[in-house]
A and B are shown apart, each in its own frame.
Chain A
Amino acid sequence: MAQMWITMGPQHPMTHGLWTLRVKVDGETVVDTEAELGYIHRGVEKICESRDFTQVTPYCDRLCYVSAMTWANSYIYAAEDLLEADVPERAEYIRLISAEIQRLASHLMWLGAFGPDIGNLTLMTWCMRDREMFLDLLQELGGSRMHYNYPRIGGVKRDMPIGFADRVIAKTKLFEKRLDEYEMMLDESTIWLVRLQGVGYANAEEMVNAGVSGPNVRAAGVNYDVRWAHPYSVYDEIDWEPAVEKPTSVKGADCYDRYRVRMEEMRQSCSMILDALNKIPGGMNTNYASGDEMIFTKAPTRAPEGATGFSNYECTRGASQFYIQGGGDGRGKNPYRLSIRSPMFITIPFVAKTMIGYKIADIPAIMGSFDPCIGETDR
């Protein structure tokens, strides 16, 4: 049969955003693919060159609309490296708690979007229900539902409100039980297993060489997590264990492994949140005023030419990195150059190549299992 190119996207349910996957097919089989990105390139890196260091944070929130808190934190750590800011320990704990709540919300968004790809619409409604609990918690901290602008260079904007810790504990414990319900529904569903198992194999070594990171490589048995390898917040003080899946085939991880590793990661996030609340200095039911030295240290606002800042951060989809050069604006108030490394920008071209050899019907399962987000890809 003659081979032909078909175009999936930019408007296609498989894409989870705006991008184009061009697929060359031989009958039903994929023989070649090509990814086209850049549909929502906003020029964030250029915009940041004319903003001062505090003003950059909201732009970083908007890099990815499902995990704004982790992206803002990622930028803040780079800015703190550049400006040599000290952070109070309580603020580090609050950042950890908020980042892990965001990770739960983000993975729930992923699972909720992945379910309909596979044909399980119930999953979407369940995930949206539970994600709302965590968005409510983040709203208590940042004041808005999705884009929080919450961390500050040298601390956080405001302390946890009174009663926040109790609500976190109640919701996290409820959610741990609901995770079991999810697994009962999914792991015993024939459709779910048939669509995911044995589909979309990705080899660990190839993935690392290609720059894939985060849950996607941990699904293939690579125990690499920035949170233990280059600990940045207080991750070395709380009890946790990176979620690593053992691959069931020599060919590497399939879609099912990538689903499993994220479920396990959600469990780990829950226990991290509970442990961090117990260990937080100053107590979980105290509320310090904004700007108190327990949650905020005043940081310098200018960085000299030649200074650089770098952060390596475990975002919800992999390692997000920021690299900043100081000395912009002639007086050092702005970044001279701010560079963003998005895990998905590297992953999507790799995923496009892993589809070769599978059927067209497998494309949504493979693509969805890698959790694409185009906001951070195109920047």
Chain B
Amino acid sequence: MGTSITQEQNASAATACLEAINARFEGTGITASVEHHSNAKKYAFVRMTCPPQHWIALAKWMRHDLGVNYCSMVTGTHFPDGPDERGWEVAYHFLRQPIQDQTPNTHHVIVAEELTGMDIPMEFEVFMPLAQGDSPSVPSIQSIWIGADWNEKETWDLVGIRFEGHENMHRVLNPHDSPEGFHPLQKQHKLRYHDHNEMYDDAQGFMRKPADEGRVK
């Protein structure tokens, strides 16, 4: 049919990316591996772990030499019970998507099965574990991918991870006058009233007291 990327193309692109990363960043503490999704078509992607001090170098290299032109997602996670070196984690998801047909009035139809090398779409996942503490921070990649701008704003707003060098950081989903230091996805903020029986015994909620009363702001 020719419309979809095949498993072989996907596997070869993933291996090529892995070899390039290993050749360029050997000995820096950046680790990379090829993983497979366990849903749908079990496609391969590249997973990396990167210490924050090497992040800008890796990001610029990915953008310019690996053709990763799309920053799709930035996720922060809080691990208050985790080990000392992993109290927070930032997970980035990137895509490489071929840009073609920039000239008007030329309609170049992509036959997916004929794509080779850097033109094959690929997915990248970068984990960045951060040490325990009150002020986790990572360098901002806003200047490399504009698409990271609002993703980083959201991650700071909801999780409280600071992005060094991010311009024009402000609240996006929470009210603009939220108290400083309030980031609802941190794990010390518990959801109230989610116990099933409690909800149905007291549907109106008049008698209800939060289970964590006095412990949450």
Residues 65-87 of chain B: 1 if any A CB is under 8 Å from the residue's CB, otherwise 0?
A: 00001111101010000000000
List residues of chain A with CB under 8 Å of any chain B CB: 37-38, 41, 43, 45-47, 49-50, 77-78, 80-81, 84-85, 87, 204-206, 208-213, 221-224, 227-233, 235-242, 244, 246-250, 308-312, 319, 321, 323, 325, 336-337, 339, 341, 345-346, 349-350, 378-379
In the complex, whether B199 has a CB less than 8 A from a CB of chain A is: no
Whether A232 lies near B101 (C-beta < 8 A) is no
Whether B173 lies near A378 (C-beta < 8 A) is yes
Contact A224:B121 (CB < 8 A) given known A80-B38, A244-B101: yes
Which residue in B38, B93, B99 is a CB contact (below 8 Å) of A205? B99
Whether B158 lies near A81 (C-beta < 8 A) is no
In the complex, whether B140 has a CB less than 8 A from a CB of chain A is: no
Contact A321:B99 (CB < 8 A) given known A235-B4, A312-B123: no
Contact A311:B110 (CB < 8 A) given known A46-B184, A224-B97: no
Tell me how far the C-beta of B31 lies from the nearest C-beta in chain A, rounded to whole angstroms: 15
Tell me how far the C-beta of B208 lies from the nearest C-beta in chain A, rounded to whole angstroms: 16
Contact A209:B75 (CB < 8 A) given known A223-B98, A236-B1: no
Across the interface, which residues of B come within 8 angstroms of A77, CB to CB?
A: 39-40
Across the interface, which residues of B come within 8 angstroms of A250, CB to CB?
A: 103-104
Which residue in A224, A240, A346 is a CB contact (below 8 Å) of B3? A240
Across the interface, which residues of A come within 8 angstroms of B73, CB to CB?
A: 321, 323, 339, 341
In the complex, whether B172 has a CB less than 8 A from a CB of chain A is: yes
Across the interface, which residues of B come within 8 angstroms of A211, CB to CB?
A: 70-72, 145-148, 150-151
Tell me how far the C-beta of A291 lies from the nearest C-beta in chain B, rounded to whole angstroms: 20
Contact A230:B43 (CB < 8 A) given known A223-B101, A240-B3, A312-B123: yes
Instruction: Report how far A325 CA is from B187 CA in the complex, Å.
Output: 14
Whether B40 lies near A210 (C-beta < 8 A) is no
Whether B146 lies near A210 (C-beta < 8 A) is yes
For the complex of A and B, 6 pairs with smallest distance between CB atoms: A211-B147, A236-B4, A229-B121, A221-B101, A80-B39, A232-B40
Which residue in A45, A232, A244, A349 is a CB contact (below 8 Å) of B41? A232
Instruction: Report how far A54 CA is from B93 CA in the complex, Å.
Output: 25
Whether B3 lies near A339 (C-beta < 8 A) is no
Whether A312 lies near B91 (C-beta < 8 A) is no
Across the interface, which residues of B come within 8 angstroms of A208, CB to CB?
A: 69-70, 97, 99
Total number of B residues with any Cβ neighbor in A under 8 Å: 57
Instruction: Report how far A349 CA is from B189 CA in the complex, Å.
Output: 29
Instruction: Report how far A37 CA is from B146 CA in the complex, Å.
Output: 18
In the complex, whether B215 has a CB less than 8 A from a CB of chain A is: no
Across the interface, which residues of B come within 8 angstroms of A81, CB to CB?
A: 37-40
Across the interface, which residues of B come within 8 angstroms of A224, CB to CB?
A: 97-99, 121
Q: Which of B97, B121, B175 has the most CB of A within 10 A?
A: B97
Residue of A nearest to B100 (CB): A223
Whether B150 lies near A345 (C-beta < 8 A) is yes
Residues 43-56 of chain B: 1 if any A CB is under 8 Å from the residue's CB, otherwise 0?
A: 10000000000000
Across the interface, which residues of B come within 8 angstroms of A230, CB to CB?
A: 5, 43, 121, 123
Instruction: Report how far A238 CA is from B101 CA in the complex, Å.
Output: 25
Q: Which of B109, B145, B154 has the most CB of A within 10 A?
A: B154
In the complex, whether B191 has a CB less than 8 A from a CB of chain A is: yes
In the complex, whether B64 has a CB less than 8 A from a CB of chain A is: no
Across the interface, which residues of A come within 8 angstroms of B41, CB to CB?
A: 231-232, 236
Contact A249:B99 (CB < 8 A) given known A49-B191, A346-B147: no
Whether B39 lies near A309 (C-beta < 8 A) is yes
Whether A204 lies near B69 (C-beta < 8 A) is no
Instruction: Report how far A263 CA is from B100 CA in the complex, Å.
Output: 22
Whether B150 lies near A246 (C-beta < 8 A) is no
Whether A323 lies near B91 (C-beta < 8 A) is yes
Across the interface, which residues of A come within 8 angstroms of B91, CB to CB?
A: 308, 323, 339
Across the interface, which residues of B come within 8 angstroms of A228, CB to CB?
A: 3-5, 112
Q: Beyond A223-B100, A231-B4, A231-B5: 19 further Cβ-contacts under 8 Å?
A: A38-B173, A81-B40, A205-B99, A209-B70, A221-B100, A224-B97, A224-B98, A228-B4, A229-B5, A232-B39, A233-B40, A235-B4, A236-B3, A248-B104, A309-B39, A323-B75, A341-B72, A341-B151, A345-B154
Whether A246 lies near B39 (C-beta < 8 A) is no
Residue of A nearest to B101 (CB): A221
Contact A248:B105 (CB < 8 A) given known A49-B191, A309-B39: yes
Across the interface, which residues of B come within 8 angstroms of A209, CB to CB?
A: 69-70, 145-147
Contact A47:B191 (CB < 8 A) given known A223-B100, A231-B41, A312-B95: yes
Whether A43 lies near B194 (C-beta < 8 A) is no
Chosen A-B contacts, 6 in total, with CB atoms closer than 8 Å, are A80-B38, A228-B3, A236-B3, A250-B103, A250-B104, A345-B150
Whether A41 lies near B100 (C-beta < 8 A) is no
Whether A210 lies near B147 (C-beta < 8 A) is yes
Across the interface, which residues of B come within 8 angstroms of A378, CB to CB?
A: 173
Across the interface, which residues of A come within 8 angstroms of B103, CB to CB?
A: 250
Whether A337 lies near B174 (C-beta < 8 A) is no
Across the interface, which residues of A come within 8 angstroms of B101, CB to CB?
A: 204, 221-223, 244, 246
Q: Which of A78, A208, A211, A244 has the most CB of B within 10 A?
A: A211
Whether B105 lies near A246 (C-beta < 8 A) is yes
Instruction: Report how far A303 CA is from B41 CA in the complex, Å.
Output: 20
Across the interface, which residues of A come within 8 angstroms of B109, CB to CB?
A: 223, 241
